[in-house]
Amino acid sequence: MLFLYNTLTRKKEIFKPVKDKKAGIYSCGPTVYSSAHLGNLRTYIFSDVLKRVLIYKGYKVKQVMNITDVGHLTSDADTGEDKVEKAAKKEKKTAWQIAKHYTKIFLNDTRKLNIIKPEIVAKATDQIKEDILLIKALEEKGFTYKTKDGLYFDTSKFKNYGALTGLSFSELKKNLKAGSRVEFSPEKKNITDFSLWKFSPPTKQRQMEWDSPWGKGFPGWHLECAVINLKYLGRAYNRSGFFPEKAQTIDIHTGGKDHINIHHSNEIAQAEAATGKKFVNFWLHGEFLVFKNLRMGKSEGNAVLIKDLEEKKYPPLAFRYLVLMNHYRKPLEFSWESLTGAKNALDNLYNFVLECQEDKKNKKAKKTSKTCAFLIKNLKKDFEAAINDDLNTPQALAVLWNLINSYSEAKKKSNWQKNINPKEIYKTILQFDKILGLRLNEVKPIKLPLEIKKIIKEREMLRKNKEWEKADRLRKAIENKDFFVQDTPEGTKIRIKNPSIRLWPKK
């Protein structure tokens, strides 16, 4: 049984899908006005692990993610400039070009982190018709009011507004007022009210704008996520229109913790006001990435990008490994030292996989012994217990290393092939990696260059003749060529340095 921590109920609950053996996940996507930083990407690694766990457990998973290419203003309280249009001005491109450019970078970055692409990636600008239908439904039910700059959702009309935050309506309002980043527009009835449709400014020509029954303008940021959810997972839309009464509850919604108070509370308000049904069963939130004592963020000025990792010769997967070393609901302190540690661990892991591949060819390695079967059975149980406990990846990684260490220990004994079977160990590791996503299944034996092969042979001769000093010189020569030597009871083994970089050259 899979336990997940549900922000809505503030406890770990057993995951039960709405439909047997199917799971729907909605993940709030990026606003494509600049590159996503490692703090943003941490959240997508967490939702990727969630997805992999559900697939591992036999669910048919449908994941939907939005791309915010319009409507996200510089302040979450619906004031300020549109982030995409602002970037367009700065970079002297059109808003459409900016959105396309950063969407491509985002998808490329997630690919480098081995994040499985969501089944559906939906752009906000492709939902205008659906947006208008949802707003109309809310208008008919009396949840909206008009101001000079747009059409707003009246949060005081929605019972239980802010339930996700665990705060009462009055506490929530007080809380928002205290937050200095939120400007209170005098025309809004409540500070918690938010725009459904913003009017284009009368004096300026916007690049992205559409006609609507209320006037020319663009959809609010919170609206797009409610609409995309209801369209692709809630199945409330079809060709003839919007049918809120037909909406289905969605299994899981993921996002960063910073979205609980405003963005996700507003998504719930819009969807539930329109459909009268529970919007989402499980709300899962990832914690922040902290860098130099501050939450990593663009406005904080401490953003690190995938591009920066690559420039410093870190493979992006080292960051994935670092993220897995920490539970998603705990703040993660990022530093270059911790990233180096993660990279080294990843290198050791890849070299172990290469060793296991070699051992599989060993003719003495035969059928699985009882001890080996027992070991694997127990560790598999431990691994699954870890992931079932609210995706405890640090514990799951510990189990993986436990397996590796047990294998290495067993190999120290003579006739080790009787006790442990490299084929079974290898198979188990690849199974674990279906969840960890460290691309262990893609590790292929490396062809040694002829030059290295020659040196190895020569060195073996020297060792036979006990010419240690000369042999040592050749060992250093090998090490200068990005390989290193391990002398084992079965003879000399050559391992590669930095497999995490060498196996996957930058694409």
Contact residues for Zn ion (CB under 5 A)?
A: 28, 225
Burial letters for 188-202: b for 16+ Cβ neighbours within 10 Å, e otherwise? Answer: bebbbbbbbbbbbee
| Two tokens, residue 297 | 């963020």
Least Cα distance to 223 among 63, 7, 70 occurs for 70
Q: Is 462 left (phi over 0), alpha (psi -120 to 50) or beta?
A: alpha
Alpha-carbon distance of 321 to 334, in angstroms, equals 12
Residue 283 or 352 with smaller CB distance to Zn ion: 283
Residue 161 or 407 with smaller CB distance to Zn ion: 161
CB of 426 to Zn ion, least distance (A): 40
CB of 33 to Zn ion, least distance (A): 15
Alpha-carbon distance of 478 to 499, in angstroms, equals 16
Residue 43 or 190 with smaller CB distance to Zn ion: 43
CB of 373 to Zn ion, least distance (A): 46
- Asked if 43 and 297 touch (Cβ cutoff 8 Å), the reply is no
CB of 109 to Zn ion, least distance (A): 19
Locus of tokens 């797009």 = 224
Residue 288 or 291 with smaller CB distance to Zn ion: 288
Give the chain's count of helices (H) and strands (E): 16, 20
Least Cα distance to 37 among 249, 280, 307 occurs for 307
Residue 284 or 353 with smaller CB distance to Zn ion: 284
Residue 190 or 254 with smaller CB distance to Zn ion: 254
CB of 225 to Zn ion, least distance (A): 3
DSSP alpha helix (H) spans, 252-296: 265-275
DSSP H or E run through 130? helix 128-140
Alpha-carbon distance of 323 to 481, in angstroms, equals 31
CB contact set of 367 (below 8 Å; sequence gap of 6+): 421
CB of 226 to Zn ion, least distance (A): 8
Residue 328 or 352 with smaller CB distance to Zn ion: 328
CB of 99 to Zn ion, least distance (A): 16
Residue 122 or 440 with smaller CB distance to Zn ion: 122
Strand pairing report for 120-123 and 60-67: parallel
CB of 28 to Zn ion, least distance (A): 3
Least Cα distance to 28 among 229, 300, 296 occurs for 229
Strand, coil or helix: 282 = strand
